[in-house]
């Protein structure tokens, strides 16, 4: 919501600046010039809004952090901590999907969202990262990922689709997942692979 509000404010700012400039040169705001103003404001606002969004993301954190321990993983957030004991039975789901269309200035079209969800008793949380295609392909060469596909996607890959379990996991990631960078996500997967024997070859347990 904050990101959308930022884009709206920046576009409106450029629109108002355009109207002021039109007024200074004695231009009359008609249907054609109004359209030019609106389109111009949207185009000119994009680099400024993207820069502002990056600053917003850098400063407005979710308050979530992931801590790797010997035989365990803990998610700390403002409301408390959730701990997964990797020496006990743990359920997990690992998936990815391709970003289609622009999702803000920091995530480009064609990038991947890669995610893993862990669940044990009453504790469950998701960790994810946004990766460029080459980095995602490198991950895919080492770990199998279930690929979530769009509802209109006619392709039927051997490992992907619209499985309800993964759709539910993706909704949970969207609502309360902890985002990390590429290096931290790789460290997390290595930590899980070392503790859970089947983690490398199985997308879920």
**pLDDT of res. 133:** 92
What is the reported pLDDT for 65? 83
pTM surpassing 0.75? no
50 lies in the same domain as 7: yes
Predicted confidence (pLDDT) per residue in 39-98, tens digit: 666 776 666 656 555 544 444 445 678 889 889 999 888 778 999 999 999 999 999 999
In which domain, by residue range, is 135 found? 65-195
Give dist(CA 47, CA 52) in Å, integer.
Answer: 9
Say if 202 falls within a structural domain. Answer: no
139 in Cβ contact with 201 (< 8 Å): no
201 has a pLDDT exceeding 80: yes
Query: Are residues 160 and 78 part of one domain?
Result: yes
Pull the structure tokens for residue 88. Answer: 């006990």
Q: Both 52 and 150 in a single domain?
A: no
Q: Does the residue 20 lie in any domain?
A: yes
Q: Domain check: are 35 and 75 in the same one?
A: no
Residue 132 pLDDT exceeds 60: yes
Would 191 be classed as within a structural domain? yes
What is the tally of structural domains in the chain? 2
What confidence tier does 185 reach under pLDDT thresholds 50, 70, 90? very high
């Amino acid at each position: 919501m904050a990101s959308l509000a930022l884009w709206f404010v920046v576009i409106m700012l450029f629109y108002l600046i355009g109207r002021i400039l039109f007024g200074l040169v004695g231009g009359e705001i008609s249907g054609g010039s109004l359209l030019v103003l609106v389109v111009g404001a949207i185009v000119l606002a994009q680099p400024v809004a993207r820069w502002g969004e990056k600053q917003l993301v850098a400063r407005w954190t979710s308050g979530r952090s992931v801590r790797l321990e010997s035989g365990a993983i803990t998610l700390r957030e403002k409301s408390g901590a959730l701990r997964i004991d990797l020496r006990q039975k743990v359920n997990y789901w690992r998936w990815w999907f391709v970003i289609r269309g622009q999702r803000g200035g920091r995530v480009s079209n064609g990038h991947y969202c890669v995610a893993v969800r862990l669940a044990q008793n009453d504790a469950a949380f998701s960790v994810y990262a946004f990766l460029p295609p080459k980095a995602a392909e490198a991950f895919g060469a080492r770990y199998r990922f279930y690929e979530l596909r769009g509802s209109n996607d006619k392709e039927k890959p051997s490992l992907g689709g619209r499985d309800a379990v993964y759709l539910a996991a993706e909704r949970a990631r969207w609502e309360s997942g902890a985002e990390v960078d590429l290096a931290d996500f790789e460290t997390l997967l290595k930590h899980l692979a070392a503790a859970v024997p089947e983690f490398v070859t199985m997308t879920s347990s």
